[in-house]
Structure 1
Amino acid sequence: MPGREDVRLAVNEWIRTSGHAFVDFDAAIRSPSDPSRRHDAYAVPDHTRPNINGSKQLAQAMAQTLPRLNL
């Protein structure tokens, strides 16, 4: 879908620069070679959602980030 990636990037940029506490799930499972896609190791074959390893990676990102959120 045209423009979808631009919207995703804009939302992520706003989240990262908003000054609010957050867990960067995008960074946790995106592909280093193609940031518009999930890493193959963390995605179901059609890349529509995380696979079990992706879910574990997201949980790991949450566990690593929570202590820094000062909630």
Structure 2
Amino acid sequence: MGDTLQSENPAAEIDEWVTLIDFTPLLCPDAICRPVIGNIAVYIDDNHLTKMFATTLAPAMRAQLGGGIG
């Protein structure tokens, strides 16, 4: 995964009642984190997503939560 992404998610040790959602495949397809995906800017700065790109992640979030949200 290169120097940017860790091989293991440090959040995996969090309480069993917490559902972890991994957007890595969507943010960094093919292990390459691009500034623009599908003609949408991904990052507003070095570690925050743009509102526009974040909204595109909603279907993936719903799928990972099993439809348990609005």
Shorter-chain TM-score tier: 0.3 to 0.5
Higher strand share: 2
Higher helix share: 1
User: TM-score with structure 2 length normalisation?
Assistant: 0.48
